[in-house]
Each structure stands twice: as C-alpha cells, then as structure tokens.
Amino acid sequence: TPVPPFDLVIFGAGGDLALRKLFPALAQRNREGVLPEESRILAVVRKEEDVEGLPKQIARRLDEEGIPKDQVEPFLRRLTMVMLDALKPETYKALKKALGDSERVRSFYLSTPPDLFIPICENLAKADILTPTSRVILEKPLGRDLASARAINDAVARILPESRTYRIDHYLGKETVQNLLVLRFANTLFERSWSSRDIDHVQITVAETVGLEQRAGYYDKSGHMRDMVQNHLMQLLTLFAIEPPNMLEAGAVRDEKIKVLKALRPIVGPDVQRFTVRGQYGAGQIDGQRVKGYADELGHASNTETFVAIRCEVDNWRWAGVPIYLRTGKRMAQRYSEIAVTFKPVPHSIFGNGGGDRLDANRLFIRLQPNDGVQLQLMMKVPGSGRLKIVPRQLDLRYSTAFDERTPDAYERLLTDVIRGDQTLFMHRDEVEQAWSWVDPIIAGWQDYYPHPHRYAAGSWGPSQAIGLIERDGRSWADPDLV
Ligand code: BG6
C-alpha cells in the first residue's frame, strides 16, 4: 500500500535518536519518492535557538549519511519547526496551529524519555489535537519496570486505542530480523527441525564496541538489562521461538509472540546467581585504542551493568530442554550480532573413530550485523584418496552478494509502516508488559543476591563467568570469526 499524505510530529526532535536515525531515515524515504508531496514533518523543540539551529544540524547529519546535496533542500522544505514545552499544556497551541485542520494522517513520535510519555499524551488530548486517525509512536524504553510500563500503556489507552499505538523496537525493522520469519516459514528445510528434536541449543549475541556515548544520564539509571535485554534480545528470542502464525498479520504474529514470552521460565531470587551474569567494563582496548572503564567515563563509581548473559528456557512442547543463551554488552571485542543455532549431533557415527575426526554438529548462523546473512555449517569430506578426513565448512549467503538492493535502516521501514497503519513489526502492550514481568524479578534478584557486576576488560567478550555459564553445560560460545 502507498504511504498516504501525513503530518509526522516528532517530540524530542533535537535528541540523539532523532538526529542519528529518524531524520536520515525520513530523508532516505523522501529521496526514494515514497513520501507524498504534501506531507510534513513537524519538529518539536523546547528552545528558541533550536528553531534556527536544528535544520542546520539536520542538514549536516544528512550530509554525513551520504544523502546527496540536491536532496537535502527538498527534505528540509518538509520541515516545520514548533517550539513547545512538553510539560506545559498552554504551549501546545503552537502545535495545534501548525497542524491546522488538515485531513492528513497525524502521527506523534515520542522520541523522549519515557517519563514524558504520559504528560505528552494528556496534553495532546487536552489541546484537542488528536483526530480519529491519529496515532502515537512510543520509543523504547517503555518505562523502567512492569508498573511504570502499565501506567504508560493505561495513560495512552485513555487517549488512543491499541490499534493506533505503535511501540517501536527498532530490531524488528532490521532486514535480518524480518528475514528470520521468512527463513523459518518459507523453507521446509528448517521448520521441520526447529524444535528440541533436532536443536541442541541456541545462542543470541548482541555485542557492541561503543561505550556510554553521550547517554550517561539515561544509561546509568537503566543499565543494560533494561536498555537491551527487555526489548531487543527478548524480541529476537521470541521471533526465533514462535509457532507459525496463520498469516503475516499484526494480530496473528503478536498472539504467537505473547505465548512464547509467557512460556519463558522465570528466574527468581537466588537463581539469578546460577542463570545470569552481570558485568561492567573496565579500562581496555578497542580497535587498538585505549579506552576508559565505565566508572571513569561516568565520573563516579556505579553498580550498573553494561553486560548481561542469561541462560533461558522456554517451557513449552517445542522447546522443553533446549537452553537459549543470551549475551549482550557494551565495549566488547567486536560489533557483532547473531543468532547461532546448534543442531544435535548425528546419533551414530558410521565413520567410527578411525580417522580421529570429531563430527561437529550442524550450525546455522543468522547474522544480523555486520556482514548480514545466513551461514550453515555442514560436515564435508576433504578431497583426497588417503585416509578419510571430515571437516566443517560453511554454506555462506551474504546479503551484500546475494542482492543488489540496498539494505535500508530499520527506521526507514518502521516509520512508513506507522503511516500506512501496519502494526506487524510493533509491540502490543501485552508483549511489553510480559517482557517486563520476566525481567523485573531478575533485576530484583540482582539487588538481593548479585549487587556487584563482575568486571571485564573493554575489548573482551565479557566477564569470564559468562564463559562459565555456557561451559558448565558442556557447550561454548560461537566464534564470531568463524563466519
Ligand atoms: C538502542 C540502545 O536501543 O540500541 C543502545 O538504547 C544501543 O544502547 C542500540 O547502542 C543498538 O542498536 P543497533 O541498531 O546499533 O544494534
């Protein structure tokens, strides 16, 4: 479906996310001719100087993103600057005036800290700005625990129905994540063996090399569990594990996702010591450069975790007995995100132990970034007429060589999905709340049983305890250099 004419209002337009992701994504869509002629982007800022300053900053960002110069001006022409204080109802008059009485689809993107979600929604309603097709887009994190997420969801529900509420998790907009559903449900080969019958275990890694960046205030209060696990990692796990929805449609997909989240075995109380690992980076080296430890970057000591590993189990018919290991952190050795599926070994080796070769299990690597693609590890005979030699080799399908098309950024897809009214790649409130229900007891357990994160050197793969977590089960983390 084509994108209908729209007015997109961005709260927090001068913030990091808007500048880094939202404006470049919109400019890219504009360049492709996807945005209807009369559509507008209304950038909400709080300070007078931003009214002049922000368009210049956006122009610089677009330039950095490689948007051609002759495309920047036409994009900026869509921009309307609006000065408003999110907490002051009387200032919403400016927004009401800028929106006028157009029939265009109105979307309100709340790219702000979550404590502003409720006041913004209330003030939008008070100012009588919402139309019958208006929708609101909520950026993560959606609250900081189940109670605050519920309060936000309730407040939003008072002004808009669930069908017009879009909760973003940008991982769902990534090509490789969408491809996970295609891989599973458009190929007979995998789905038949996608269960405890054939799968030994699963690893989900999201490793970053960046540290605190400019987000100390937010990140130190949240920690890595809330910043990455509650949303991105749990979404990956869920899509990996869902039952086949009867069609690719928001309701059907979301129903299946919720079932998986509900089946996740709780980790409560002292169990956090057995099944989770918290870490915080110390000084170290990234790409040959010395970098500071977390506390030094922050300027004071802190018990906030920058690394989390968890051994999860999904207690349902399909997955009973298959551990899913999650691992994610800042300042790790490489930027590398992947789902690695290890199949069970063959039941009996006809090759005996004669050659002394170990038969490795088949492994499927779904690589999100970098080098996105899919690799399948098979055992192969080394050519030669001497002794039989068997080694693992990879079937390697990379996006960059398999397709000519450019891989769009996640936000390009998600922003136009909102305007088109497609909720498939957004989270239902029940999903978000269910994810918090699983995460909250772990964070509470940490306070009681695991208050101090383990230290790891920046540029490593996290604390040694994370290696212990998987090795205790006789398994090991996949080697990112294998792929
Ligand atoms: C964000 C987190 O949601 O995702 C950041 O708040 C993190 O801390 C980012 O750096 C990672 O996203 P990506 O797309 O670079 O993997």
Q: Output the CA 441–ligand 1 centroid distance in Å.
A: 24
8-state DSSP, 115 = G
Question: Phi and psi for 235 in degrees, rounded to 5?
Answer: -65, -40
**What residue owns the CA closest to ligand 1's atom 13?**
171
**What residue owns the CA closest to ligand 1's atom 14?**
171
Cβ proximity of 325 and 201 under 8 Å:
yes
Q: What is the pLDDT of residue 359?
A: 86
Q: Output the CA 23–ligand 1 centroid distance in Å.
A: 17
SS3 at position 105 = strand
State which ligand 1 atom lies nearest to the alpha carbon of 337. Answer: 16
Residue 233 CB neighbour total at 10 angstroms: 25
Maximal CA-CA distance, the chain? 85
Distance CA 356, CA 230 (A): 44
**What residue owns the CA closest to ligand 1's atom 7?**
228
Residue 384 CB-half CA count within 13 A: 9
Q: Could you tell me how many helices (H) and strands (E) the chain has, helices first?
A: 18, 16
Give which of 154, 162, 118, 160 is closest to 11, Cα–Cα.
Answer: 118
How do residues 289-316 score in pLDDT, each as one tens digit? 999 999 999 999 999 999 999 999 999 9
State which ligand 1 atom lies nearest to the alpha carbon of 206. Answer: 16
Q: Output the CA 313–ligand 1 centroid distance in Å.
A: 25
Q: 142, 177, 228: which to mutate for ligand 1, most atoms within 8 A of CB?
A: 228
State which ligand 1 atom lies nearest to the alpha carbon of 368. Answer: 16
Q: The tokens of 446 are what?
A: 């940490």
Residue 471 CB neighbour total at 10 angstroms: 12
Q: What is the pLDDT of residue 154?
A: 96
Distance CA 117, CA 139 (A): 9
**What residue owns the CA closest to ligand 1's atom 4?**
228
CA distance to 206, 217, 477, per residue, from 297 (Å) = 22, 12, 29
Q: What is the pLDDT of residue 357?
A: 66
State which ligand 1 atom lies nearest to the alpha carbon of 140. Answer: 3
In the beta sheet, which residues pair with residue 392? 379
- Residues of the chain predicted below pLDDT 50: 354, 483
Catalytic one of 201, 224, 232, 428? 232
pTM (predicted TM-score): 0.95
Q: Output the CA 169–ligand 1 centroid distance in Å.
A: 10
Q: 177, 232, 337, 414: which to mutate for ligand 1, most atoms within 8 A of CB?
A: 232
In the beta sheet, which residues pair with residue 285? 290
Q: What is the pLDDT of residue 210?
A: 96
State which ligand 1 atom lies nearest to the alpha carbon of 210. Answer: 10
Residue 339 CB-half CA count within 13 A: 23
Q: Output the CA 5–ligand 1 centroid distance in Å.
A: 30
Distance CA 93, CA 407 (A): 40
Q: What is the pLDDT of residue 483?
A: 46
Q: Does the active-site annotation cover 232?
A: yes
CA dihedral sign, ordered 281, 231, 315, 195 = negative
Sheet of 165-167, strand order: 79-83, 40-45, 6-11, 105-110, 135-138, 165-167
Give which of 358, 132, 340, 381 is closest to 236, Cα–Cα.
Answer: 340
Burial code of 84-114, b = ≥16 C-beta within 10 A, e = fewer? bebeeeebbebbeebbeeeebbbbbbbbbeb
Q: 227, 236, 294, 372: which to mutate for ligand 1, most atoms within 8 A of CB?
A: 227
Q: What is the pLDDT of residue 388?
A: 87
Q: 208, 212, 220, 297: which to mutate for ligand 1, most atoms within 8 A of CB?
A: 208
Q: What is the pLDDT of residue 394?
A: 93
Q: Output the CA 383–ligand 1 centroid distance in Å.
A: 44
412 lines ligand 1 (CB under 6 A): no
Q: What is the pLDDT of residue 215?
A: 87
State which ligand 1 atom lies nearest to the alpha carbon of 231. Answer: 3
Q: How far apart are the first and last CA of the chain?
A: 37
Distance CA 341, CA 344 (A): 10
Q: What is the pLDDT of residue 356?
A: 60
Question: Looking at this predicted complex, what is its ipTM?
Answer: 0.99
208 lines ligand 1 (CB under 6 A): yes
Cβ proximity of 482 and 334 under 8 Å:
no
DSSP string covering 329-350, please?
ESSBSS-EEEEEEEEPPPSS-T
Q: What is the pLDDT of residue 479?
A: 82
Question: Phi and psi for 158 in degrees, rounded to 5?
Answer: -70, -25
7 lines ligand 1 (CB under 6 A): no
Cβ proximity of 30 and 71 under 8 Å:
yes
